[in-house]
Amino acid sequence: MLDDFEFQSRRSPVYGRGGMAAATQPLAVAAGLKLLAKGGTAADAAVAMAAALNVTEPTSTGLGGDAFALYYEASTKRISALNGSGRSPDALTLERLQHEGLDKSLPAFHPYTITVPGACAAWCDLHERFGRLPLAQVLEPAEKLAEEGFPVAPITAYFWQRGAARQLAQAVNGHELTQDGRAPSAGELFRNPGLARTLRQIAEGGKKAFYHGPVARAIAAVVAEAGGCLAEKDLAEHASTWEEPISVEYRGLRIWECPPNGQGLAALLALNLLSGFDLAALPPLSAERLHLEIEAMRLAFADTFHYVADPAFTPAPLEALLSPAYAEERRRLIDPRKANKHLAHGTPPASSDTVYFCVVDGEGNACSFINSNYMGFGTGIVPHGLGFSLQNRGLGFSLQPGHPNVLAPRKRPFTTIIPAMATRAKSGDLFGPFGVMGGFMQPQGHLQLAVALADDQLDSQAALDRPRFCIQPETEGQMTAIEAGIPDETLQALSEMGHVVQQVNGMGRSLFGRGQIITRDPASGVLCGGSDPRADGCAMVYLA
């Protein structure tokens, strides 16, 4: 039974040279490898994988959601950051929510939580800048999977069942993503001809086919039917943005993240704090080491929740927040012996259910990509006949007047989805793309993988296999979930240090995210891939 699934991995890391892809679904990996075999770049393969994941894991991702990417271009050693998050409707204001009695909070699946889906534009923009093959060829594997059907993977079937009983059962047209009202079982074929048609339209007309015309009209119509206010005009005015990534140096690596409105800042803040401690001298799963990591992460969240917002409205003081001087100031708040009960944001000197996947091509280009509906199927609202559900990313807004992240028209919300990339600090050579999906677990996962790779020199698979912690920053007292596999004496010691801890096992371990890693040896070009045992996926090499 899946309820008893123990997420035990007995995998070795995957090695190869011709190119490599890693994702939560083997069929998506196969789509990426197919594009590499046709001479495509990491960007071509990444878009093919994103589209295939929309088909095979609609429980987490799709054209109704947002996407972010980091792209490493081998010829220039330059990293580009793509922000594919959408903005709130022009008609959605705090005053409107107050008038309707929703000024304190929005229900999780309310149509007002629907922001413009940014994924399609992100796919097309990444392909346009770094792709080599025609878009129709890139989307063909996903279109075929949708049209002919695919066998549903076991963990995906589990979460599909939860979504079918939750938002899909209540949402407008939610039944279109079910088998006569129920979720498909593991191994059962699921066809999605509506999504196949949508992918064909995008293949022929690019992003314009999504944000204008029949697709845009269908999205606006179903949102209006559900009681929301996202309009065709909001869709027509959407655009992705290319931005400068942010980074810090950690143990000889430079760790890169997308800038706000994402929470990648939290991972970098925490790594800056930990750079002042000798973690390698402490046992990896000891209370002493986990205490330092947890405290660093709690301090990072305090700053992130205060400063991260749409930079077009309220830019964060990134240079100051990531400065060594600010890290030194905040590090003084970490007591190696006990948890600090009162952590607030600092003042630096002036100066989401998701899919994550990565790919490295034979030329050494790399793409770290994340795509999400938020909360599984998002709102569960499906534009009739299009084959995907609409996200509820608007839940990321604050409804507190004056807050940097307060809801406003045409504004991007705080978003949890973040890809990561590592390069070698001195040479700028690619170390590798990596990421861990899953709401507020994501920066915590980035931190724990970076520590495993840099402090402990683990290979890609061993780093992903290691048991994790997950702070619940939205809970009172910031309870920390501890994954089964971390010793009982560590839990006891953390509790005695003042942490509120709870062990999590079974299917509950999905809380700790699902990650992928591909690293590259700059001398030999050998790639080393790992895929999270907490998911259905794999890493696989392309044999050139």
Give 381-434 pLDDT, tens digit per residue: 999 999 999 999 999 999 999 999 999 999 999 999 999 999 999 999 999 999
Query: Which residue ranges make up each domain of the chain?
Result: 2-240+354-396, 243-352+416-522
Q: How far apart are CA 203 and CA 196, in angstroms?
A: 10
Widest Cα–Cα separation across the chain: 63
> What string of DSSP letters covers 494-540?
HHHTT--EEEE-GGGGGGG-EEEEEEE-TTT--EEEEE-TTSS-EEE
Q: For the chain, give the number of residues.
A: 544
Give 488-501 pLDDT, tens digit per residue: 999 999 999 999 99
Confidence of residue 103 (pLDDT cuts 50, 70, 90): confident
CB 229 within 8 A of CB 256: no
Q: How far apart are CA 348 and CA 504, in angstroms?
A: 36
pTM above 0.85, yes or no: yes
- Out of 156, 198, 354, 415, the active site residue is 354
What is the percent of the chain with per-residue pLDDT over 70, rounded to a whole number?
A: 96
- Give pLDDT, residue 8: 62
Structure tokens belonging to residue 334: 């970490």
The yes-or-no answer on residue 379 being catalytic is no
Q: How far apart are CA 534 and CA 8, in angstroms?
A: 8
List alpha helices for 38-134, DSSP H: 42-56, 94-99, 119-130
Which CATH architecture describes the domain 243-352+416-522? Orthogonal Bundle (1.10)
Give 52-99 pLDDT, tens digit per residue: 999 999 999 999 999 999 999 999 999 999 999 999 999 999 999 999
Structure tokens belonging to residue 80: 């580009």
Report helix, strand or coil for 354: strand
Residue where the block lists tokens 């803040």: 269
Give 208-217 pLDDT, tens digit per residue: 999 999 999 9
Confidence of residue 202 (pLDDT cuts 50, 70, 90): very high
Give 254-305 pLDDT, tens digit per residue: 999 999 999 999 999 999 999 999 999 999 999 999 999 999 999 999 999 9
What is the percent of the chain with per-residue pLDDT over 90, rounded to a whole number?
A: 90
- Give pLDDT, residue 507: 84
Q: Residue 467: left if φ>0, alpha if ψ -120 to 50, beta else—which one?
A: beta
Give 105-150 pLDDT, tens digit per residue: 999 999 999 999 999 999 999 999 999 999 999 999 999 999 999 9
Taking residue 26's Cβ as centre, other Cβ atoms within 10 Å add up to 16
According to DSSP, the residues that pair with 415 across neighbouring strands are: 262
Return the minimum-mean-pLDDT range out of 4-8, 351-355, 443-447: 4-8
Confidence of residue 438 (pLDDT cuts 50, 70, 90): confident
Q: How far apart are CA 444 and CA 406, in angstroms?
A: 24
Residue where the block lists tokens 């009209």: 217
N- to C-terminal Cα distance for the chain? 39
- Give pLDDT, residue 447: 98
The mean pLDDT value of the chain amounts to: 94
CB 434 within 8 A of CB 446: yes
